[in-house]
Structure 1
Amino acid sequence: MHDLEGVDRGVNPQKTSVSALALQLEELLVSSDRRGMAQVRQLWTPGYLHTAAELFVRHCQRVVIVSGFPVGETYETDGPAGAIALLQGVKDCGGQARLVGFTPYIDRLRNCVAGLPQLNQRDLLALDRSGDVCEQLQGYMAGFAPTLLIFVAVPGQAADGCYYNPRFEDISDRTLPWEKLLELADCYSIAIADSGNHLGMGRVADPLARLSIVPAVSWTDGLVIADIANWGACGLLALASAFVRKNLLRNLHLTPLLEVLSRSGIVDSVTGMATASEDGLPAFSGEAVVTTLRNAAQTLQSGF
């Protein structure tokens, strides 16, 4: 369980610089070390959250946000909540964003539109296997001309060309080769991940060798690691608030967002149940983390 009381005391934006706060937020986001991300952080170079936040702010004019990790015949709650928060964050910065995913996943999100004021049908783009995936992606990239790609808890291709879940099961038939976007889009990219099998984690290949996982091999320009990917997305928005002088988390409330997602049949990846929870943690755990991040963002957006 997350030591939320200790975390709150550890994040003190009133007595530190933006770069120092970024390091505090990095520590917060991996403090429970549920899947070895604290170990990865210890073996990696700090400052990655600051790098990702700068990329986000500089290149948020037209953003493609990819999410959706399969669990059985549906998808998990960790990822879509963060993707929707990022979607709103881009809009708050004056940019345009599209939430892109495999058709069965986007169909679930379409069912959420009525319950989520920050989401509408034109925000969503579904891709499927009915034709050449590369042609679909290329056509869309040409029309939207993204300035930034963000991947939130997306399956990443392993060295053998397949995609795996944490139980070492091949899930290649339930996802798409999103790495093609890195080849087709002439723009920067950020990955937000909480497990070594997520797209973008090739950037920390050496630390991943110590974990029991089939690691992804792809790289992105920025990488944010977290115990829960949704929290990583919120951490990115909290720090970005310092650059845009606006609290990009001011309207985010995680619990009702998770409730709407669960009603559409999106499930907790650990329990397999359609509940307002993330990776086995009840909504109030994530809500407490988001509250800490929102408070930090409030101070950051005011300047200090």
Structure 2
Amino acid sequence: MRIEETIAELERVAAREVGRGSEALAAPAAGGLLTAARSLAAGRPPDAAVFTGFFIPGADPPAAETDGPLGALQIAVALRLLGGRCRLVTDEPCAPVLEAAVAAIAPQVPVDVAPLRGYEDWAAARIHEYGQLTHLIACERVGPGVDGRPRNMRGEDIGAHTAPLDRLYTSGSAFRIGIGDGGNELGMGRLPADLVGRVVAAGERIRCVVGADALLVGGTSNWAAAALVGALSLLRPEVPQLRTLLEPVWSYDLLSAVVGAGAVDGVRRRPTLSVDGLDWPTYAEPLTRIAELVGPSR
């Protein structure tokens, strides 16, 4: 297959249906993966920030979920391998999980942690810096709905546990990439409102209104992030280390690290070696297929 055809197949694999309408949501976003990958792989090395962390207040115990941090760190490491710079951005409730992920895999990646109290001052001190970045990427980061409130898939308002990072995500003139799986994440505002309302339970209420220049829809957001790294590997074959990030064992080791730090499955609401209700063997199937499509290091 031509590279463009392989990247289109990566996009389809990442959007595998898991019961939340990802395949339907992915249809109007088709081509977003190629657009996003080309924007990162071409020109000068990217200087990016990746926003992630989705807090589950109803979990036992409450913590950030396993979907998001894995993909965000995978992207951050990939961009650094391309010679760029990348930081991760989250808020205080999600920080322990994200910091554990970084410590386990890539301690050189900086993490910016937004406070819940005093957020406005924190953001004001950084908005100029963020406005100079080339790319702002959101990976499974909840955003505001039509009423301005961030909501989970159950329709619950989680604003008390969520810093409004969408204000930094929309700052400046950076190329914005959104990665999500349920309609309530940053970037999903690119989708037609009626589609989200029709496909997603309580979609009218939870749909994020913040769009993006390129949108990647996955069955889980981590799968779409892996597809992005896969596309970068195809576009930049002279960086064979990118292929290592696609090996399922890389994700398994990172999943183990974040669960050890308290991360919870967002569907099951407890700390298990799973993502969105999918046990490792099932969850790993698209990761394995993505690695197969990209092929061995050249």
Normalised by the shorter chain, which TM-score bucket?
0.7 to 0.9
Alignment of 1:8-87 (within 5 A): 16-42=1-27, 44=28, 46-58=30-42, 60-72=45-57, 73-87=62-76
Per-residue CA deviation, residues 30-87 of structure 1 (Å, 9 max, x unaligned), is 2224310111233x15322111111222375211011001112211000000011111
Query: 5+ residue gaps in structure 1?
Result: 1-15
SS at match of 2:185: coil
State the alpha-carbon separation in 2 of the partners of residues 86 and 51 from structure 1: 15
State the alpha-carbon separation in 2 of the partners of residues 87 and 112 from structure 1: 12
Query: 5+ residue gaps in structure 2?
Result: none
SS at match of 2:39: helix
State the alpha-carbon separation in 1 of the partners of residues 127 and 86 from structure 2: 13
TM-score (norm 1): 0.86
| Contact kept in structure 2, 1:201 and 1:216, CA below 8 Å | yes
CA pair 60-271 structure 1, distance change in 2 beyond 3 A: farther
Identity among equivalent pairs (%): 27
Question: Which amino acid in the other structure matches residue 149 of structure 2?
Answer: C
State the alpha-carbon separation in 1 of the partners of residues 106 and 138 from structure 2: 19
| Contact kept in structure 2, 1:163 and 1:171, CA below 8 Å | yes
| Contact kept in structure 2, 1:111 and 1:264, CA below 8 Å | yes
1:97 matched to 2:86: yes
State the alpha-carbon separation in 2 of the partners of residues 278 and 29 from structure 1: 14
1:227 matched to 2:219: yes
CA pair 138-298 structure 1, distance change in 2 beyond 3 A: farther
Instruction: Give, in angstroms, the shift of residue 221 of structure 1.
Output: 0.7
Q: Which runs of 4+ in 1 moved over 4 A?
A: none
CA pair 158-124 structure 1, distance change in 2 beyond 3 A: same
Instruction: Give, in angstroms, the shift of residue 254 of structure 1.
Output: 1.2
1:243 matched to 2:235: yes
Alignment of 1:156-195 (within 5 A): 156-195=143-182
1:216 matched to 2:200: no
Match of 1:273 among 270, 275, 278: 270
| Contact kept in structure 2, 1:201 and 1:218, CA below 8 Å | yes
| Contact kept in structure 2, 1:19 and 1:47, CA below 8 Å | no
TM-score (norm 2): 0.88
State the alpha-carbon separation in 2 of the partners of residues 111 and 40 from structure 1: 32
State the alpha-carbon separation in 2 of the partners of residues 249 and 268 from structure 1: 27
CA pair 256-97 structure 1, distance change in 2 beyond 3 A: same
| Contact kept in structure 2, 1:55 and 1:222, CA below 8 Å | no
| Contact kept in structure 2, 1:89 and 1:249, CA below 8 Å | no
SS at match of 1:164: coil
State the alpha-carbon separation in 2 of the partners of residues 287 and 45 from structure 1: 23
CA pair 48-112 structure 1, distance change in 2 beyond 3 A: closer
Per-residue CA deviation, residues 178-217 of structure 1 (Å, 9 max, x unaligned), is 2212442331110110111111111112321212222111
State the alpha-carbon separation in 1 of the partners of residues 295 and 126 from structure 2: 36
CA pair 218-284 structure 1, distance change in 2 beyond 3 A: same
Match of 2:126 among 115, 135, 140: 140
Greater Cα offset, 73-82 or 201-210: 201-210
CA pair 243-158 structure 1, distance change in 2 beyond 3 A: same
Instruction: Give, in angstroms, the shift of residue 113 of structure 1.
Output: 4.4
State the alpha-carbon separation in 1 of the partners of residues 96 and 30 from structure 2: 38
SS at match of 1:210: helix
State the alpha-carbon separation in 1 of the partners of residues 18 and 116 from structure 2: 36
Alignment of 1:109-120 (within 5 A): 109-114=98-103, 116-120=104-108
CA pair 104-31 structure 1, distance change in 2 beyond 3 A: closer
| Contact kept in structure 2, 1:77 and 1:261, CA below 8 Å | yes
The alignment yields a C-alpha RMSD, in angstroms, of 2.0
Question: Which amino acid in the other structure matches residue 21 of structure 1?
Answer: T
State the alpha-carbon separation in 2 of the partners of residues 112 and 41 from structure 1: 28
* Count of aligned residue pairs for this structure pair: 282
